[in-house]
Structure 1
């Protein structure tokens, strides 16, 4: 349970760092790329064994890590487009509602435990995600021509969580978790560096030191969120559907409360309903363990 708690804390720190980006006018794209570089570096430093770059492609989990790395940064870009075209609420709901994919996968494929408390908690959690993510009293409206972007965020985010569980269960040893995580972030960093190189060729790249600092501030908790989540998924007394439900809802709950306390964010009635449902759903799922 301690790893699940640490994953929630690390993910909440990511939220805080992102909020500070706008305050200090940090270039998000550049910071994201540097974030992946430093997250990769964190994994390499945490790995306690000699590192052989030539031997990495021989690892059973290598291809999966490469695919995840590419999807990481693609999903981020889709989230950015979704926010621009459909609003922040749509992006938040699409990202967090994707927890349904690994939950259903875990129950069907891994035959994970089900019961009235757990199923009720999961269903309530989905409602909690929706209500907590709404930031406008008018609700969520998606134009038909832009619906592809939130759909891609939903599928991509769900694919990432589902794949993390599948790969760590079948191919990643406990000692390889740091290098596995580092490889994911390293591949995402390479794709991001290609994008920055393209900007450089076009003459539109202007790297500032504060963007690098932003990347460092984001990279360390980003690595921690993945590392601790994988460790939580390996816990014998917690199945993946329980981990993903509590993790996603608790992150949304703590991030929302942090926004109120630190950034003086104002909530509408639906948000408070979402907070209440979040707490109730976590209790139900926790009691079902």
Structure 2
């Protein structure tokens, strides 16, 4: 359970860093690329065994890690694009409500338990995510701009489900650092290729603050994934329970951080959402 708590704290810290990026006018995409380079380095440093490239390339999880790397950088940027075009609330709801995908995956593939209490808790969790994320002066129009939030919803859910499948099926217990480093490394390569193209087109401008901000984000991002993977290895907690608790707790914690650290306004709906989030976490965990 300690790794689940650490994963929630690290993921919430990512929210804080992105808020600071906005405050200090740090380029999001440039810092995201630097973040993945740093996260890859963290994984390589944390790996206790000797690094053998041919062994990595021949690992059963390698192709999955490459695909996850592509998904990581795509979904990260899609989240930013959705927030810009559809609003932060829409992006938050779309990404966190995707918890339903790994939950269904865990129940269907791993035959995890599904009783009335868990079903009720998951439904309550989805309502809690919506109410907690929605802001007082914003409204979500499901008839307009549905494409980006829908793709974000699918992408976020597929990432969580894929991490669970690869961790369970192919990644050895001591292989989490190198597995994580490979994912981040692939994401970094894709990002660097895009930046190279921008440099050729003369639309790229290097700024040290983007690199520093990205490096700081990379350390946090690396440990958010490592802690999540270690939490998934805990046999006493089903993945459907873990992902529900993880996503709802992140939304709840991020909202409270916004209130106390960034002085954001919290509406009655948000407080109701936070209350329902606590109840849903208790229901799903105790189920």
Whether the 8 Å contact between 1:97 and 1:129 is mirrored in structure 2 is yes
Residue 122 of structure 2: aligned partner: 122
Residue 203 of structure 2: SS of its match in structure 1? coil
Residue 209 of structure 1: aligned partner: 208
Any gaps of 5 or more consecutive residues in structure 1? none
1:266-281 to 2 correspondence within 5 Å? Answer: 266-281=265-280
Residue 170 of structure 2: aligned partner: 171
Partner deviation per Cα, 1:209-239 (whole Å, 9 max, x = no partner): 1111101110011011111101111101001
* Whole-Å separation in 1 of the counterparts to 2:26 and 2:20: 8
| TM-score (norm. length: structure 2) | 0.97
Residue 239 of structure 1: aligned partner: 238
How far did 1:82 drift? 1.4
* Whole-Å separation in 2 of the counterparts to 1:138 and 1:172: 42
Whether the 8 Å contact between 2:136 and 2:266 is mirrored in structure 1 is no
Residue 73 of structure 1: aligned partner: 73
Residue 3 of structure 1: SS of its match in structure 2? helix
* Whole-Å separation in 2 of the counterparts to 1:23 and 1:84: 15
Runs of 4+ in structure 1 deviating by more than 3 angstroms, as ranges, are: none
1:182-193 to 2 correspondence within 5 Å? Answer: 182-193=181-192
Whether the 8 Å contact between 2:89 and 2:138 is mirrored in structure 1 is no
| TM-score (norm. length: structure 1) | 0.97
Residue 2 of structure 1: aligned partner: 2
Any gaps of 5 or more consecutive residues in structure 2? none
**CA RMSD in angstroms, aligned pairs only:** 1.1
* Whole-Å separation in 2 of the counterparts to 1:138 and 1:21: 22
Residue 217 of structure 2: aligned partner: 218
How far did 1:138 drift? 4.6
How far did 1:142 drift? 4.2
Residue 96 of structure 2: aligned partner: 96
Counting matched residue pairs gives: 287
How far did 1:143 drift? 5.0
Residue 228 of structure 1: aligned partner: 227
How far did 1:149 drift? 0.9
